[in-house]
């Protein structure tokens, strides 16, 4: 508006000088013409101002319909044998276990010091990478059967301004389970629930660090977001209000966050291509089934990655080419952190073994019951999946 006004003033002054000394009739005609020109310029300026105030960045913003169209037509890269081998080789089982997993194996109840310690661990691991993650501690207070509790979701986004996002998620809290009455040091550390899934996600970020840095520099249309939910577990019995504290909060928050910033047409939630939720992983021989028809083609990519890596001899203690990801049976849905997103229309891949591990929600969910080759294999399969999805 101000720029248009300055141009108008300069035009008036120049023409005024040029008209000096002309005959009165010609002068009148020119003045009428000039007035018409000025009215035209003013109208144009007003139209431009109205257009800009309606949508700050104009028609370049993706409309939700475009986001959905782009998501549905998204094509993953298909890697060659050599590329898959190279990617799988970037997963470091030792780093996954010693650096990422071990510090997570403590009690991590929401609002406690244990929770604070493991959140700092997750953030420091992500800060140490070269990709340049934008990190956020998403705090909120919610009432629970134990009173008001402060929860903290951890969010890491590679390129917050990218139009679309692939979400990789797990929960970082542990369930309140009393310690062993005979040994107070024997506490619930939830190795599979969900320390191992968090360690897998940290290892994926570490293993793909160089490629993710390049992806960010290319300003790709689809970026990666990592979500570490707090408060997945019920404080007492699982109900709609006593469970999924972090995911309910985040799904709601994302649904009312404009994306791109300033948009009146689309939210951050609509920018989510796919939510990949990991839970209860770490025991040997997990059976992970397909839960949703609308994401079956992405589940097929996991099956394909497992088969390919098996054929290449890149998985260890892996008896048959299709051991983990199965579409030939179904044991029913599982309530988990994906629900608040699913209910709002976000496509979901729920990577959880059914049946659950036998030690689920017992003091036996410990490191010793985890199977390192299985955890490393799953991480390799997911590395291929993420790299192909994002065309790393
Ligand atoms: Zn649990």
pLDDT digits (tens, 9 = 90+) for 332-361: 889 999 999 999 999 999 999 999 999 999
Is there a catalytic annotation at residue 240? no
pLDDT in tens, 184-216: 999 999 999 999 999 999 999 999 999 999 999
The mean of the pLDDT values for the chain is 88
Catalytic residue among 173, 232, 233, 273: 232
Report the separation in Å between the CA atom of 11 and the middle of ligand 1, taken as the mean of its atom positions.
Answer: 72
Counts for the chain of helices (H) and strands (E), in that order: 12, 8
CA of 194 to the centre of ligand 1 (A): 7
Q: Which residues contact 279 (CB under 8 A, 6 or more apart)?
A: 170, 171, 193, 194, 197, 232, 336, 337, 350, 351, 352
Say which of 173, 233, 273, 279 is annotated catalytic. 279
pLDDT class of 161 with cuts at 50, 70, 90: very high
Four-residue CA torsion sign, 203, 190, 368, 318: negative
Of 39-43, 157-161, 178-182, 317-321, minimum mean pLDDT range:
39-43
CB 277 within 8 Å of CB 200: no
What's the CA-to-centroid distance between 127 and ligand 1, angstroms?
28
Counted residue by residue, the chain has a size of 392
pLDDT top residue among 2 and 77? 77
For ligand 1, the distance from its centroid to the CA atom of residue 386, given in whole angstroms, is 25
Distance from residue 211's CA to the centre of ligand 1 (Å): 33
Distance in Å, CA 197 to ligand 1 centroid: 12
Tokens 């977001």 belong to residue: 225
Around 163, how many Cα atoms within 13 Å sit in the side-chain half-sphere? 15
Angstrom distance (rounded) from CA 104 to CA 42: 64
pLDDT tens per residue, range 291-336? 999 999 999 999 999 999 999 999 999 999 989 999 988 888 899 9
Q: List b or e across 293-322, with b for residues whose CB sees 16 or more CB atoms inside 10 angstroms.
A: eebeebbebbbbbbbbbbeeebbeebeeee
Q: Residues 172, 247: contact at Cβ < 8 Å?
A: no
Q: Is 392 helix (H, G, I), strand (E, B) or coil?
A: coil
Q: How confident is the model at residue 73 (pLDDT cuts 50, 70, 90)?
A: confident
Q: Are 141 and 148 in contact (CB under 8 A)?
A: yes
Assess whether pLDDT exceeds 90 at residue 18. no
Residue 26 clears pLDDT 60, i.e. is over it: no
Are β-strands 222-229 and 288-289 bridged in parallel, bridged antiparallel, or unpaired? unpaired
What's residue 14's pLDDT?
34
Distance from Cα 251 to the centre of ligand 1, integer Å = 20
Residue 4 is predicted with a pLDDT of: 32
Q: Which of 67-81, 219-233, 248-262, 269-283 has the lowest mean pLDDT?
A: 67-81
Cα 148 to middle of ligand 1, angstroms = 21
| C-alpha separations of 22 from 25, 27, 30, 140, 357 in Å | 9, 6, 10, 74, 96
Pairing of strands 272-278, 222-229: unpaired
Q: How many Å apart are CA 212 and CA 331, to the nearest integer?
A: 36
Contacts of 385 (CB under 8 A, 6+ apart): 276, 298, 301, 302, 305
Taking domain 67-390, whether its CATH number is 3.40.630.10 is answered by yes
The model's confidence at residue 52, banded by pLDDT at 50, 70 and 90, is very low
d(CA 16, CA 37): 14
- The alpha carbon of 168 and the centre of ligand 1 are apart by a number of angstroms equal to 18
Tokens of 142: 């919610």
CA of 279 relative to ligand 1 center, distance in Å:
8
Q: What is the CB neighbour count within 10 angstroms for residue 265? A: 16
User: pLDDT tens, 113-140?
Assistant: 999 999 999 999 999 999 999 999 999 9
State the distance from the centre of ligand 1 to the C-alpha of 341, rounded, in angstroms: 19
The answer to whether 279 is a known catalytic residue is yes
């Amino acid at each position: 508006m101000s720029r248009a006004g300055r141009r108008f003033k300069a035009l008036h002054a120049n023409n005024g000088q040029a008209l000096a000394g002309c005959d009165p009739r010609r002068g009148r005609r020119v003045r009428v013409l000039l007035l018409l020109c000025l009215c035209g310029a003013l109208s144009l300026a007003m139209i431009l101002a109205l257009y800009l105030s309606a949508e700050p960045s104009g028609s370049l913003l993706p409309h939700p319909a475009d986001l959905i169209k782009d998501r549905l037509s998204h094509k993953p890269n298909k890697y060659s044998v050599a590329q898959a081998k190279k990617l799988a080789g970037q997963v470091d089982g030792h780093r996954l276990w010693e650096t990422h997993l071990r510090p997570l194996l403590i009690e991590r109840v929401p609002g406690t010091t244990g929770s604070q310690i493991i959140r700092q661990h997750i953030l420091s691991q992500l800060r140490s990478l070269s990709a340049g993650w934008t990190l956020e501690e998403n705090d909120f207070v919610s009432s629970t059967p134990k009173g008001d509790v402060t929860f903290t979701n951890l969010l890491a986004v590679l390129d917050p301004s990218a139009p679309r996002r692939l979400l990789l998620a797990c929960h970082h809290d542990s369930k309140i389970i009393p310690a062993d009455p005979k040994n107070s040091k024997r506490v619930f550390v939830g190795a599979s629930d969900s320390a191992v899934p968090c360690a897998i996600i940290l290892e994926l970020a570490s293993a793909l660090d160089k490629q993710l840095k390049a992806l960010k520099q290319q300003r790709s249309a689809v970026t990666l977001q990592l979500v570490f939910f707090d408060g997945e577990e019920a404080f007492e019995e699982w109900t709609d209000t006593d469970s999924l504290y972090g995911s309910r909060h985040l799904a709601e928050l994302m649904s009312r966050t404009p994306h791109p910033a300033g948009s009146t047409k689309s939210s951050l939630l609509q920018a989510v291509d796919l939510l990949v939720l990991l839970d209860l992983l770490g025991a040997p021989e997990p059976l992970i089934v397909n839960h949703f028809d609308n994401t079956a083609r992405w589940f097929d990519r996991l099956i394909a990655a497992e088969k390919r890596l098996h054929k290449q001899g890149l998985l260890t203690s892996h008896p048959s080419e299709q051991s983990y990801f199965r579409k030939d049976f179904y044991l029913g849905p599982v309530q988990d952190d994906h629900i608040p997103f699913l209910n709002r229309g976000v496509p979901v891949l729920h990577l959880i073994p059914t049946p659950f591990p036998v030690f689920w929600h017992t003091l036996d969910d410990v490191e010793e019951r985890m199977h390192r080759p299985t955890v490393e294999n799953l991480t390799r399969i997911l590395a291929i999946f993420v790299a192909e999805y994002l065309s790393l």
